[in-house]
Amino acid sequence: MTSPARASPYPPASRHALIIANDTYQDEGLRQLTSPAQDAEALAAVLGDPQIGGFDVQVVRNEPSHTIATRLDDFFSDRRPGDTLVVHFSCHGLKSESGELYFAAGNTRPRRLASTAVPADFVRRCMSSTRARSVALFLDCCYGGAFPQGAAARASGDVNVLDSFAGDRPGGGRGWAVITASSSMEYAFEGTELTRTSGPRPSVFTSALVSGLATGEADLDQDGRISLDELYDYVFDRVRQENPHQTPSRSVDMQGDLYLARSRRRRIAPSPVPDDVRAAMHSPDLYSRRGAIAELRARMDNPDPAVAAGAREALDEMARRDIRAVADEAARALDEVRVTPRPARLDFGPVPEHAPSPHRPVRLLGPPLARSCAVHVEDDWLRATESSDGLDVSVDTSRPGRRSGDIVLKGAAGEAVVHVEAEVLPTPAPPDRPPAPPDSPPVPPEVPKAPPPHGATRPASPPPARLRPPPASPPTRPHAAPKPPPVPAARTSPPAPARPAHPPAPAHHPAPSTAKRASALAAAALGLAVTSLITLVLTAVGAARALANQARNDRLHLTWTLNDEIHKSGMMTPLVICLITSVLALILVSMTRRTLRPAAPVRTTRTLTLTAKALAVPALALAVLALVMCLVAAAQA
């Protein structure tokens, strides 16, 4: 397929890309890959973007070897010297017994590579014969030896991928470049591992390619263009960072630089401030320097980023070198123009697995200088693209799990971080159909009955034990076939199904209103029980105080009795409250159980009632003992 034509800043018909992806193989020995489909989709989008790659993109997916060979031959033929060509392979790479490299197609048979696979030598000859001066070949392949059907695809000896493209330099062009996802003895990892259970997402190598081109992070010198060398250096670092066991390699035989994409990460060259402002900055007069700060603050709002960057650079100089009062004022002016994302934290919440990627906007506030910044995303599940007023942030939903990462914004006005969180929920497995209960009574087979004669009506429920006489024959219509007489019902009814010895008890579930009322009663009972316990403690404190005072009175031979000390200590009020609340708590516990009867109480209600009873019963018993002690003391008085 070919992407639709769009307006592009590049010369017409000068940039062409061919993406070959194979993830389904007829031979069982070739393990199915999960990444090529995602690789083709993601890379075609970024290369075909008129503001990034500006390529005319063709995608060939899961085609047989002869179709791929024809598309390659057509792609390299009839080109002009000014054309730039890019070819990307995402498939298995196989080595024959004689050491030749082949690219697997949908119909590839490992024992018949010469007739069912695409030879690397054929690709090299196509690259040599083209008139295009710039050709880049990207190989995101799993390399292995020729193996029998059913065996795992493992490397068996050095594949020498780059050696397969050595020699035969193109005649009239500047040359070509070959970049491979891994060295000869390594796998090209899909995600972080080569497993069939991993979700479909771009491979480590192609993911780094797409990220470097789409975000502009591969523009290492920030000149607005991404060269082939910059892209390789960026991809090498990203791949090694994510997977130390994979090492991209390259072979370049090209004169000059090959620029693959445009970048928005153009470094802003500060314009020098006017001479009068520069003179005011270095004036010995304090007020002149403060006036220069006001002028520089206004220049930082200039729509020209170069003018604003020059003013910021001058303010930074004053903040570092001037006296404290002037330096603090310059620092405050600098702080007014800085990278300010809103919001600075995004939480996508729970997202279903394999659902469409959710998007959230992030606005960049402030003058143009504050909004001119580069976007750095370290996590492959997180994507951020520039929009008219900021960023458009989305997350990958191909893998379940909790995600947390940062988007770093760097510009001439400083740095800022947008923290992003999301939780991708795994797709629930379909519930198994429950088997029929073993105690279900067998359903007796229905006895077929003959239809009644024409014109007669069948009663709704005929008596089962008696035979009814057949009705009189109704008049027949002309030319109507006679109807068979009805079959009388059998005298004996089918035997009743055997009743199970122990029928299962019906499950009782309280109604929602009943459950809520029971929970409220249980909570009230617990509150009263706690109150009784607290007042019991106050009663004990008062009793201890009364006994201590009575002992002191005995030593001093005073006439105050224990009953007097009890009333003076104030223990009677909490004692009465303790008795009342404990009794009420037990009453509410009984009401709760009666409300839920005969249904089994829910766990929360049962816990509340048991706790309330455990507190109220001891409190009531101890309160009764204290009351008896008070009555005895009153009798002795």
Partners of 72 in the beta sheet? none
Interval 514-528 mean pLDDT: 82
What's the rounded Cα separation, in Å, for the pair 503 and 238? 67
- Is the model more confident about 21 or about 200? 21
What's the rounded Cα separation, in Å, for the pair 635 and 637? 5
> Token pair 């390789």 is at which residue?
232
Residue 543: which of 563, 516, 520, 523 has the closest Cα? 563
- The 10s digit of each residue's pLDDT in 405-437 is 999 888 888 889 999 999 999 987 666 555 555
CB neighbour class for 637 (10 Å; exposed up to 12, middle 13-18, buried from 19): exposed
Q: Write the DSSP symbol of residue 107.
A: T
| Confidence class for position 144, pLDDT limits 50, 70, 90 | low
What's the rounded Cα separation, in Å, for the pair 563 and 134? 111
Q: Write the DSSP symbol of residue 424.
A: E
Please check whether residue 172 is in contact with residue 81, taking contact to mean a CB–CB distance below 8 angstroms.
Answer: yes
Q: Write the DSSP symbol of residue 2.
A: B
Residue 5 has pLDDT above 70, yes or no: no
What's the rounded Cα separation, in Å, for the pair 410 and 460? 85
Residue 16 has pLDDT above 90, yes or no: yes
Please check whether residue 103 is in contact with residue 118, taking contact to mean a CB–CB distance below 8 angstroms.
Answer: yes
pLDDT-above-70 percentage for the chain: 73
pLDDT of amino acid 348 = 93
pLDDT of amino acid 35 = 64
Give the chain's mean pLDDT: 77
- The 10s digit of each residue's pLDDT in 243-263 is 887 888 888 887 778 888 988
| Confidence class for position 94, pLDDT limits 50, 70, 90 | confident
Please check whether residue 20 is in contact with residue 58, taking contact to mean a CB–CB distance below 8 angstroms.
Answer: no
pLDDT of amino acid 429 = 66
433 half-sphere exposure, CB direction, 13 A CA radius: 2
Residue 388: CB atoms within 10 A of its CB come to: 6
Please check whether residue 58 is in contact with residue 2, taking contact to mean a CB–CB distance below 8 angstroms.
Answer: yes
Q: Write the DSSP symbol of residue 273.
A: P
pLDDT of amino acid 135 = 92
Please check whether residue 306 is in contact with residue 294, taking contact to mean a CB–CB distance below 8 angstroms.
Answer: no
- Is the model more confident about 29 or about 504? 29
| Confidence class for position 3, pLDDT limits 50, 70, 90 | very low
pLDDT of amino acid 632 = 79
- Is the model more confident about 82 or about 514? 82
Residue 635: CB atoms within 10 A of its CB come to: 8
What's the rounded Cα separation, in Å, for the pair 289 and 327? 10
Residue 539 has pLDDT above 80, yes or no: yes
HEC string for 430-481: CCCCCCCCCCCCCCCCCCCCCCCCCCCCCCCCCCCCCCCCCCCCCCCCCCCC
Q: Each residue of 15-40: b (16+ CB within 10 Å) or e?
A: bbbbbbbbbebebebbbebbbbbbbb
Contacts with 516 (C-beta within 8 Å, 6 or more apart), sequence order: none
pLDDT of amino acid 326 = 92
| Confidence class for position 95, pLDDT limits 50, 70, 90 | confident
Residue 463: which of 486, 494, 490 has the closest Cα? 490
pLDDT of amino acid 220 = 84
- Is the model more confident about 217 or about 6? 217
Residue 67 has pLDDT above 80, yes or no: yes
- The 10s digit of each residue's pLDDT in 298-345 is 999 998 888 999 999 999 999 999 999 999 999 999 998 989 999 999
Partners of 119 in the beta sheet? 102
> Token pair 């179709």 is at which residue?
67
- The 10s digit of each residue's pLDDT in 146-198 is 333 333 333 344 556 666 676 555 444 457 888 888 765 455 555 444 434 44
pLDDT of amino acid 167 = 58
| CATH hierarchy code of domain 341-425 | 2.60.40.10
Interval 93-110 mean pLDDT: 86
Confirm whether 15-262 and 341-425 share one CATH topology: no
pLDDT of amino acid 535 = 87
- Is the model more confident about 372 or about 135? 135
Architecture of domain 15-262 in this structure: 3-Layer(aba) Sandwich (3.40)
pLDDT of amino acid 470 = 47
- The 10s digit of each residue's pLDDT in 366-403 is 898 888 888 888 777 888 888 888 899 999 888 899 98
Weakest mean pLDDT among 139-143, 266-270, 586-590: 266-270
pLDDT of amino acid 349 = 92
- pTM of the complete model beyond 0.75: no
pLDDT of amino acid 478 = 43
Kindly state the helix (H) or strand (E) to which residue 297 belongs, with its residue range.
helix 286-299
pLDDT of amino acid 110 = 85
pLDDT-above-90 percentage for the chain: 25
- The 10s digit of each residue's pLDDT in 473-492 is 444 444 444 444 444 444 44
Structure tokens at 278: 């520069």
Interval 30-40 mean pLDDT: 71
Interval 545-567 mean pLDDT: 72
Domain edges within the chain = 15-262, 275-336, 341-425, 512-636
